[in-house]
Amino acid sequence: MFGALWKRIFGKTNAPEQEPALPPYDPLAALRDQVWRDVAGGFHDDDAILTAAHDTFVEELPGPTLRREASAALRQALAEHNAAEMAWPDMTDCDRLDAAFAALEAEGVIARQNFTCCGSCGAIEIWDEIEEAIGEGRPAEGYAFFHMQDTEAAVEGEALYLNYGACAAGEAAALDIGRRIAAQLDAHDLAVDWDGSWSMRIQVVLDWKKRRTLRMLEA
């Protein structure tokens, strides 16, 4: 009786739901996922993809298994990518991004794709690119780049985020470069989400379809 009264007054109480258990880690599945991302990313050739797979999984899989499975995963990923590419439009968002970055480079914004492992390394190493451009007599007023982790996120369907900055010191100079980057992206029909502040990276909403020169591994 008291139980029914309690439920009417305070409502039914349920025990907290337990989150479903995560599936056990499978190094072979992880290997295939990494190879697929590297193929879809479009920046690495076959040898680089296999080398990355070896470096990542050398302590998790026996050598013969790793070599066999990595090669098989690469063949499958390349075949799937080639088949998918046949149905792509003449101009993809990645083609537009290439064109926008080329235009930025021409106007003095050093623009790099899939540049370094992370933002911290990129913010340091981009100055080597700037110094090289200046040494070759090319204009260099600022920079834009996205790093390898950004590429992986974009491949998996997330937005792409760009770091940016100016060669001149100060927020005003950096924001001027940011506006020039946003304008070029917009001019190339890419969707930009940026509030104009120095604290926010420039977000590009795109459908990642990166063309690649396919070289199928022999079976």
Residue the block writes with tokens 């760009």: 162
Two tokens at 195? 């509030």
**H or E segment to which residue 80 belongs:** helix 63-85
Residues 140-176: tens digit of each pLDDT: 999 999 999 999 999 999 999 999 999 999 999 999 9
Return mean pLDDT, the chain: 91
Asked whether residue 216 carries a pLDDT value surpassing 50, the answer given is no
Question: Residues 60-117: pLDDT tens digits?
Answer: 999 999 999 999 999 999 999 999 999 999 999 999 999 999 999 999 999 999 999 9
Band of pLDDT at residue 213, cut at 50, 70 and 90: low
Taking the CA atoms of residue 114, residue 93, residue 162 and residue 77 in that order, the dihedral angle to the nearest 10 degrees is -30
Please give the Cα distance from 101 to 59 (Å, whole number).
38
Q: Is 2 helix (H, G, I), strand (E, B) or coil?
A: helix
Is the pLDDT score of 184 beyond 50? yes
Q: How many CA atoms lie within 13 A of 103 on its CB side?
A: 15
Q: List the structure tokens of 6.
A: 């309690």
Per-residue model confidence (pLDDT) at position 5: 45
Alpha carbon distance 65, 48 (integer Å): 18
The three-state secondary structure class of 13 is coil
Amino acid code (one letter) for 137: G
Do the Cβ atoms of 189 and 216 come closer than 8 Å?
Answer: no
The torsion angles phi and psi of 172, rounded to 5 degrees, stand at -60, -45
13 pLDDT more than 70: no
DSSP string, 122-133: HHHHHHHHHHHH
Q: Can you say whether the dihedral through the CA atoms of 67, 70, 74, 76 is positive or negative?
A: positive
Q: What is the pTM of this model?
A: 0.85
- Is the pLDDT at 219 greater than 70? The verdict is no
DSSP state of 21: P
Return the ∠ at Cα 145 (arms to 141 and 150), rounded to 5°.
165
Give the pLDDT mean for 116-136.
Answer: 97
Strand bridging mode 142-145 / 160-166:
antiparallel
